[in-house]
Amino acid sequence: MKNKIFRRATSKLTAIKLPKGISHINSFSFFKNGNPVSDSSLAFSPFKAMVQKEITDHIRNWRFIILFALISLACMGTLFATLSDGMKVLVNDTTENNFFFLNLFTKSDGTLPAYFVFVGFLGPLFGISLGFDAISSEQNRGTLSRVLAQPIPRDSILNAKFLAGIIVISVMFFALSFLVLGAGLLALGIPPTAEEFMRIMVYTVLSIVYVSFWLNLSILFSVRFRQSATSALSGIAVWLFFTIFYPLIANLIIKGYEPSKYATPNAIYFYEKLKFYLVQIMPNELFDEITSAILVPSVRSLGPLTTEQMQGAIPSSLPLGQSILLVWPQFTGLLALTLLCFLFSYLLFMKREIRSRG
Amino acid sequence: MAEKSIEINGLTKKYGQHVAVDNLTLSIDKGEIFGLLGPNGAGKSTTILMLLGLTEVDSGSVKVCGIDTTRHPLEVKRKVGYLPEDVGFYNDYTGLQNLLYVARLNNIPLEQAQKTALRTLAEVGLEEEMDKKVASYSRGMRQRLGLADVLIKNPEVIILDEPTLGLDPEGVKKFLQLIVELSRKKGITVLFSSHHLHQVQQLCDRVGIFVKGKLLAEGKISSLAEQLFSKNTFTLEGGITPMDENPNQASDSLEEVVNKMKRIKEVSLVEVDKDHFVVESKKDVSAELSRLIVNSGYGLAYLTKKKYGLDDIYHQYFQEEEKRI
């Protein structure tokens, strides 16, 4: 009897609570928690609210929609080009490897660049566009001082902006990777091997790290510069510098050290090392190396190798673990650059005076 | 002595060589409306930023509700509502959504936040516009939304930095009324910064005059006036008209009336220029004066009380400041 009453009482309770839960319109909440907030989640709830708001803002933003459309179109384009013309080439190309799925990401029939080229090219643009007005726009709209007058730690606004950017980028990249995988599955009719699948996942994660570097760099600029346009331009300038001008400069330097035909092996080795290390500070070069090592299992080394080192090597593809080991320095470098940008934006932001506008 | 809401002690802030706030010491009681009055660039906003820990303090200490701002800014921000000068909102969201976001940043559970948000919106008179995007709001509506935004966290202290800037006179009046009402009802301490003398005069219990980073004077408006114009704080101006239609009624001559005026208690000076007179006194004598004039057979054309306001105080201090330099 008691039990029955209790049950009825609880059912009444839920009956009261349910319509309320449905009726409240709250555009911020994606993953709404219906149950009363517990103490542990209470501490993170403001931060969660901020991240949710940032994600909502990104997704509603035309800038994001346009870029997303651009990248998806590029991916679709390459995918169809690869699948229609290059199918036979792909399948017949069994000379070195039989990683069909990886070929989807790396090979193209020549009309359009391959998928990885698009990611490497548009990824930075995407990162910059998500972050270049993160702080400056809040400042210009006068919302920054209003938000910072609330009882939230000052760094959580930076963290929320960054985390929201990462989440949006991750969702997008994983979606695209799975899309390519799925299309490949339909076209080829064979499932990817575990090795291939893992490689693609690792590649996706690393490309997210790469884009998050650019995101962080642009957040740094948005903290530093009051004008969003200035910060966007600085981000693009850095990107152009690394993709166009830095290789030119590196080339000039390398030319000066070019050894003659009859130089000693030591001199040649030094030259090759110099050539290798000079480009190692370029984030895009780091990412290119990561891409090639992860997506092309037959890549055995990224730097110069001497013939002695090559001796006894069996010409076969590397297992995934070895490939990851190969790009570990590059990965660490990228992560370090990302953290540096984050650190500087932190330093600039934490001591900053927050005026209402300008 | 009442509980202190804000205590500032020897507060100094420098920007390079320029001293923005110079050794400021000030305390504000709980439930008081304090007006921080000063010209642009006097350091009012900087002081407010330091109160909230939004900028670094060079020296001195700030305590809000007994909590040190430099050490525990989060605790202070939990208790203080701040309406920045020229407040900004997320234009793509509705007024209600903007409020709810702030409520969530304050860790108010959603259901409670919704109730409070609706109630505060009703209090500031925005319940009809709450589902419109903020982009479509007028300046006055934004300012009222800002006030709701401050009130939603149920603060003990609210700090308003030039809240009436850019509002039309009617809007200013309504806004100030709203602040007074809310402060009195809930016992909230209000720190109100402005360069508008009359608004501060209408609104505040106490005023601090702030020029070039220094607090020149502080106290009730009347006591400030007493400090400055120690002799006579009340000045009455009036006009008298002779009653021509009633010639048979005995009427005193003008001189006699003036003499009678002088005989009223506390009156120290009477000046007459034809039918216009100025009476200076230590207390309000308008009732006696008007009775006297009517009894003497004259008509009272007008009688205005000229109280020394902040305007005069302001100018006085500025003059002194300029002289010193």
Let me know whether B222 and B240 are in one domain. Answer: no
With respect to residue B17, please indicate whether it lies within any of the assigned structural domains. yes
The answer to whether B204 and B33 are in contact (CB under 8 A) is: yes
The answer to whether B176 and B286 are in contact (CB under 8 A) is: no
pLDDT of residue B198 exceeding 70: yes
Let me know whether B65 and B127 are in one domain. Answer: yes
Q: Which tokens belong to A148?
A: 């910072």
Let me know whether B55 and B17 are in one domain. Answer: yes
Q: Residue B151: CA atoms inside 13 Å, Cβ hemisphere, count?
A: 25
Torsion B69-B73-B79-B82 (CA) sign? positive
| Mean pLDDT within A67-77 | 86
Domain count, chain B: 2
pLDDT of residue A31 exceeding 60: no
Residue B39 lies in domain: 4-227
Q: Is B62 helix (H, G, I), strand (E, B) or coil?
A: strand
CB contact under 8 A, A149 and B77: yes
pLDDT of residue A210 exceeding 90: yes
> Which of chain B's residues have a Cβ under 8 Å away from the Cβ of A38?
none
DSSP string, B146-209: HHHHHHTT--SEEEEESTTTT--HHHHHHHHHHHHHHHHHHT-EEEEEES-HHHHHHH-SEEEE
**CB contact, 8 Å: A49 with chain B?**
yes
pLDDT at B297: 78
Q: Which tokens belong to A238?
A: 């850095």
Let me know whether B187 and B99 are in one domain. Answer: yes
With respect to residue B94, please indicate whether it lies within any of the assigned structural domains. yes
The answer to whether A45 and B104 are in contact (CB under 8 A) is: yes
**Partner residues linked to B211 by β-bridges:** B214
Instruction: State how far the Cα of B279 lies from the Cα of B289, in Å rounded to an integer.
Output: 9
- A167 Cα to chain B: minimum distance (Å): 20
| Mean pLDDT within B117-146 | 89
With respect to residue B325, please indicate whether it lies within any of the assigned structural domains. no
With respect to residue B59, please indicate whether it lies within any of the assigned structural domains. yes
Between residues B263 and A15, which one has the greater pLDDT? B263
The DSSP code for B280 is E
Q: Do strands B214-219 and B206-211 pair parallel, antiparallel, or not at all (unpaired)?
A: antiparallel
Which residues of B fall below an 8 Å CB-CB distance to A? 45, 49, 52, 54-56, 74-75, 77-78, 80-82, 84-93, 97, 100-102, 104-107, 109-111, 114, 146, 149, 153, 161
At position B190, the amino acid (one-letter code) is V
Identify the band that residue A300 occupies on the pLDDT scale cut at 50, 70 and 90: confident
> pTM here?
0.79
User: What share of chain A has pLDDT > 70, as a percent?
Assistant: 83
> Which of chain B's residues have a Cβ under 8 Å away from the Cβ of A141?
88-91
CB contact under 8 A, A28 and B161: no
Identify the band that residue B251 occupies on the pLDDT scale cut at 50, 70 and 90: low
| Mean pLDDT within B132-140 | 90
Torsion A125-A131-A136-A140 (CA) sign? positive
CB contact under 8 A, A142 and B97: no
pLDDT at A28: 44
**CB count in 10 Å sphere of residue A133:** 23
Predicted ipTM beyond 0.95:
no
- The string of pLDDT tens digits covering residues B55-76 is 888 888 899 988 888 888 888 9
With respect to residue B14, please indicate whether it lies within any of the assigned structural domains. yes
Let me know whether B129 and B63 are in one domain. Answer: yes
Let me know whether B59 and B189 are in one domain. Answer: yes
pLDDT at A217: 95
CB contact under 8 A, B105 and A143: no
Per-chain mean pLDDT for chain A: 81
- The string of pLDDT tens digits covering residues A301-335 is 777 777 777 777 777 778 888 888 889 999 999 99
Entry field: residues in chain A: 358
User: A39-60 and B95-105 are packed helices; what angle lies between their axes, rounded to 10 degrees?
Assistant: 140
The DSSP code for B324 is H
User: What share of chain B has pLDDT > 70, as a percent?
Assistant: 88
Burial class of residue B313 (count of CB atoms within 10 Å of its CB; 0-12, 13-18, 19+):
buried
Instruction: State how far the Cα of A54 lies from the Cα of B248, in Å rounded to an integer.
Output: 86
pLDDT at A334: 92
pLDDT at A42: 55
pLDDT at A58: 92
Q: Which helix (H) or strand (E) holds B256?
A: helix B254-263
CB contact under 8 A, B104 and A151: no
User: What share of chain A has pLDDT > 90, as a percent?
Assistant: 33
Let me know whether B19 and B102 are in one domain. Answer: yes
Instruction: State how far the Cα of B5 lies from the Cα of B63, in Å rounded to an integer.
Output: 8
pLDDT of residue A86 exceeding 70: no
Let me know whether B171 and B54 are in one domain. Answer: yes
Instruction: Classify each residue of B176-201 as buried b or exposed e, where b means 16 or more C-beta atoms within 10 Å of its C-beta.
Output: bebbeebbeeeebbbbbbbbbbebbb
pLDDT at A35: 44
- The string of pLDDT tens digits covering residues A162-173 is 999 999 999 999
pLDDT at A336: 93
| Mean pLDDT within A101-118 | 78
Between residues B141 and B255, which one has the greater pLDDT? B141
pLDDT of residue B158 exceeding 60: yes
Q: What is the 3-state secondary structure (H, E, C) of chain A?
A: CHHHHHHHHHHHHHHHHHHHHHHCCCCCCCCCCCCCCCHHHHHHHHHHHHHHHHHHHHHHCHHHHHHHHHHHHHHHHHHHHHHHHCHHHHHHCCCCCCCHHHHHHHCCCCCCCCHHHHHHHHHHHHHHHHHCCCCHHHHHHCHHHHHHCCCCCCHHHHHHHHHHHHHHHHHHHHHHHHHHHHHHHHHHCCCCCHHHHHHHHHHHHHHHHHHHHHHHHHHHHHHHCCCHHHHHHHHHHHHHHHHHHHHHHHHHHHHHCCCCCCCCHHHHHHHHHHHHHHHHHCHHHHHHHHHHHHHCCCCCCCCCCCHHHHCCCCCCCCCHHHHHHHHHHHHHHHHHHHHHHHHHHHHHHHCCCCCCCC
pLDDT at B209: 83
| Mean pLDDT within A27-49 | 56
The DSSP code for B2 is P
Between residues A316 and B174, which one has the greater pLDDT? B174
- B54 Cα to chain A: minimum distance (Å): 6
Between residues B276 and B274, which one has the greater pLDDT? B276
Let me know whether B202 and B282 are in one domain. Answer: no
Let me know whether B136 and B185 are in one domain. Answer: yes
Instruction: State how far the Cα of A143 lies from the Cα of A356, in Å rounded to an integer.
Output: 8
Q: Which residue has the tokens 């500025």?
A: B318
Residue among B64, B92, B263 nearest A27 (CA): B92
| Mean pLDDT within B189-210 | 84
CATH number at residue B49: 3.40.50.300
Per-chain mean pLDDT for chain B: 82
CB contact under 8 A, A353 and B77: no
CATH number at residue B247: 3.30.70.1340
Lowest mean pLDDT among B68-82, B169-183, B293-307, B311-325: B311-325
Q: Do strands B33-37 and B189-194 pair parallel, antiparallel, or not at all (unpaired)?
A: parallel
Last residue of a domain, one of B227, B261, B278: B227
- Test the A interface: residue of B97, B105, B107, B152 with most A CBs within 10 Å: B105
Q: Which tokens belong to A322?
A: 């070895």
| Mean pLDDT within B86-113 | 90
The minimal CB distance from A150 to the residues B88, B90, B106 is found for B106
Instruction: State how far the Cα of A263 lies from the Cα of B243, in Å rounded to an integer.
Output: 124
Q: Which tokens belong to B319?
A: 């003059």
| Mean pLDDT within A332-354 | 91
Between residues A292 and A25, which one has the greater pLDDT? A292
**CB contact, 8 Å: A20 with chain B?**
yes
- For the beta sheet containing B59-64, the strands, ordered from the edge strand earlier in sequence to the opposite edge, are B18-29, B4-15, B59-64, B67-68
pLDDT of residue A29 exceeding 60: no
pLDDT of residue B168 exceeding 70: yes
**CB contact, 8 Å: A259 with chain B?**
no
With respect to residue B320, please indicate whether it lies within any of the assigned structural domains. no
Residue among B212, B209, B211, B240 nearest B223 (CA): B209
**Partner residues linked to B9 by β-bridges:** B61
With respect to residue B44, please indicate whether it lies within any of the assigned structural domains. yes
The answer to whether B79 and B64 are in contact (CB under 8 A) is: yes
pLDDT of residue A4 exceeding 80: no
Lowest mean pLDDT among A4-13, A68-77, B16-25, B267-276: A4-13
Contacts of A322 (CB under 8 A, 6+ apart): none
Last residue of a domain, one of B210, B227, B244: B227
Residue among B53, B35, B66 nearest B164 (CA): B35
Q: Residue B145: CA atoms inside 13 Å, Cβ hemisphere, count?
A: 33
Q: Which residue has the tokens 């190396």?
A: A289
Let me know whether B146 and B251 are in one domain. Answer: no
Q: Is B11 helix (H, G, I), strand (E, B) or coil?
A: strand
Let me know whether B112 and B179 are in one domain. Answer: yes
With respect to residue B316, please indicate whether it lies within any of the assigned structural domains. no
> Which of chain A's residues have a Cβ under 8 Å away from the Cβ of B110?
24, 26, 29
